[in-house]
Amino acid sequence: MANSTIVRIAGAAGDGIQSTGELLGKTCSRMGLHVLAYNSFQSAIRGGHVWLQMAIGSEKQYDHGEEPEVVLLFNKTSPAVHVPDVKSGGIVFYNAGSIKKEEIESLRSDVNFYGLDFKAMVDAVKLTDVNPVMINVMLAGALVQTLNLDAKVTLEFIKDKFLKKGEKVVELNNAIFNLGFEWTKANTKPLELKLKGNNIPKMFLSGNDAIGMGLVAGGLKFYAAYPMSPATGILHYISTLAQSDKLIVKQVEDELAAINWAVGAGHAGVRAATGTAGGGFCLMVEGLGLAAMAEVPLVTILVQRGGPSTGVPTKIEQADISLAMGGNGEFPRFILAPKDLEDCFYQSARALNIAEKYQVPVILMSDFFLSEHFGTVDDLDFSKIKIERGKLTTEWNSNEKYKRYAYTEDGVSPRVRPGTPGAMHLVVSDEHNEYGHLMSDVDAGLPHAREARIKMHAKRMHKVELMIENGDASPPILEGDVNAETTFVTWGSTYAYIKSAMVLLEKEGVKANHLHFTDIYPVPREQTLALFKKCKRLISVEANMCNALCRQILTETGFEITEHINRWDGEPFTGEYIVNELKRLEIKKKQLISV
Closest CA to 301 of 232, 366, 254: 366
Q: Are 262 and 224 in contact (CB under 8 A)?
A: yes
- CATH architecture, domain defined by 4-201: 3-Layer(aba) Sandwich (3.40)
Q: Quote the mean pLDDT of the chain.
A: 94
549-571 tens-digit pLDDT:
999 999 999 999 999 999 999 99
Residue 400 pLDDT: 84
503-541 tens-digit pLDDT:
999 999 999 999 999 999 999 999 999 999 999 999 999
392-443 tens-digit pLDDT:
988 888 788 899 999 998 999 999 999 999 899 989 899 999 999 888 665 6
CATH class of 204-384: alpha beta
More confident residue, 554 or 17: 554
Pairing of strands 34-40, 47-57: antiparallel
Q: Kindly report, as residue ranges, where domains of CATH 3.40.920.10 are found in the chain.
A: 4-201
Q: Kindly report, as residue ranges, where domains of CATH 3.40.50.920 are found in the chain.
A: 477-594
Residue 398 pLDDT: 75
Give the integer Cα–Cα distance in Å for 284 and 282.
5
Four-way CATH pick for 477-594: 3.30.1490.20, 3.40.50.920, 3.30.390.30, 3.40.718.10 = 3.40.50.920
Residue 133 has pLDDT above 90, yes or no: no
Residue 449's alpha-carbon distances to 367, 442, 444, 481, 506, in angstroms, are 43, 10, 5, 56, 63
Q: Kindly report, as residue ranges, where domains of CATH 3.40.50.970 are found in the chain.
A: 204-384
More confident residue, 258 or 44: 258
Cis amide prior to 308 (ω within 30 degrees):
yes
48-67 tens-digit pLDDT:
789 999 999 999 999 999 99
13 CB burial (10 A radius; 0-12, 13-18, 19+): middle
Q: Write out the E strands in 368-421.
A: 374-377, 392-393, 415-416
Residue 595 pLDDT: 62
288: left (phi over 0), alpha (psi -120 to 50) or beta: alpha
28-46 tens-digit pLDDT:
999 999 999 998 877 666 6
